[in-house]
Amino acid sequence: MQFTLDDEPRFPRGKRSGIGIIGCGHIVQTAHLPAYEKYGLNIVGVYDISEQAMRTVQQRFHVRHAFASVDDLFASSDIEVVDIATHPAERAGLILKALQAGKHVLSQKPFALDMHTAQELIQEAERRHLTLAVNQNGRWAPPWRITTQLVQQGAIGEVLAVTHLFDTRFEWVTGTVFDTIPHWAIYDYGLHWIDSIHCWLADTPLTSIRAREYRTPDQPMESKADWGMWCEFVYANGAHAMIRSVGCSQTQRDGHPFWLHGTQGIIRGSILGKGNDFVELERDGISSRYPLKGQWFPDGFAGTMGELLCAIEEDREPYHSARHTLRSLQMTLAACQSAEHNGEVVPYEEMKR
């Protein structure tokens, strides 16, 4: 079988909309702006409560404006899209203000801390005929992007099982802001992997979720966030998805292998490794490995912004719209709820609350 596969970001054919960025922290400096610079996007200006961070970004990436306030950024007629890359607690309020200012929004994930707020923001964007997208940049990470296209084109038939493994070591988290985030491995880090499961089993009714978090035996006393966890997602037709975080791996081949088993084949791959990323399809006794043209960082971040800009130009809903990613948020919050009760099953009806 022949498949149409392309893991590169796509951008509008017409003019590039002006982009304003709120938040000039590590992720903006190492991913957002390198991606936007690489693909020639139109960055009008930035704002951050830290003037030093803002000036550093302005000088390093030759950004035209460093705004004195977030209101000044919202007031700029040159800005059509606002990229919100702040800490989670501030995002919902900034999204609302951006929508009220008539701006399209790309929000870092998660775009809300609870389902009620998420629904309200989606309704506000739709009421104003504006686009609210979520920076689920893992969807454009090359191995996952190719995998999604293979699934959508029926390469393995019906998806029966998804398995993710974090074959890595989380000692880098100790002493960082991530170390203080409740349910960090699920809520912040694991959300990308949960979102991938949502994309690959999107039309299959979900029935229940379980999750557990635990400290690994060699985890240092000063670290706060659990390095070990697992999440289990059960579907009405018997399909099953699992994420397992080892978190204490001593491997030098650091990575995140994954497997999709279907009725007609298997997809194997690995992501976010040290030069070990790949994706391979096995079907009818033949294995095919596909070339990857980019990397999650920074190309995945170009993918999210490019898809948003294309959706605006083409007057359609983007693939990573807040409405489409709502199930991923719902699944993540349910997994956190289960982890708080040591792996207790959370039925789908409770997830919707």
* pLDDT (tens digit per residue) in 145-164: 999 999 999 999 999 999 99
- Domain map (residue ranges) of the chain: 19-138+302-316, 141-296+328-351
What single string gives the DSSP state of each residue in 108-177? PSPS-SSHHHHHHHHHHHHHTT--EEE--GGGGSHHHHHHHHHHHTTTTSSEEEEEEEEBSB-GGGTTSG
Least confident segment among 14-18, 177-181, 278-282: 14-18
Give the span between the Cα atoms of 26 and 118, in whole angstroms.
Answer: 25
Nearest to 187 by CA among 339, 353, 33: 339
Q: Does the pLDDT of residue 10 top 90, yes or no? A: yes
Q: How confident is the model at residue 274 (pLDDT cuts 50, 70, 90)?
A: confident
Give the pLDDT score at 298. Answer: 95
Give the pLDDT score at 253. Answer: 87
Q: Which residue has the higher pLDDT, 252 or 206?
A: 206
Give the span between the Cα atoms of 336 and 284, in whole angstroms.
Answer: 39
Q: β-strand 19-22 against 81-84: which pairing, if any?
A: parallel
Q: How confident is the model at residue 1 (pLDDT cuts 50, 70, 90)?
A: confident
| Pick among 2.60.40.10, 3.20.20.70, 3.30.360.10, 3.30.750.80: CATH of 141-296+328-351 | 3.30.360.10
| Pick among 3.30.413.10, 3.40.50.2300, 3.40.50.720, 3.40.50.1980: CATH of 19-138+302-316 | 3.40.50.720
**Locate tokens 């670290």: which residue?**
223
* pLDDT (tens digit per residue) in 17-41: 999 999 999 999 999 999 999 999 9
The average confidence (pLDDT) of the chain is 96
Phi, psi of 333 (to 5 degrees): -65, -35
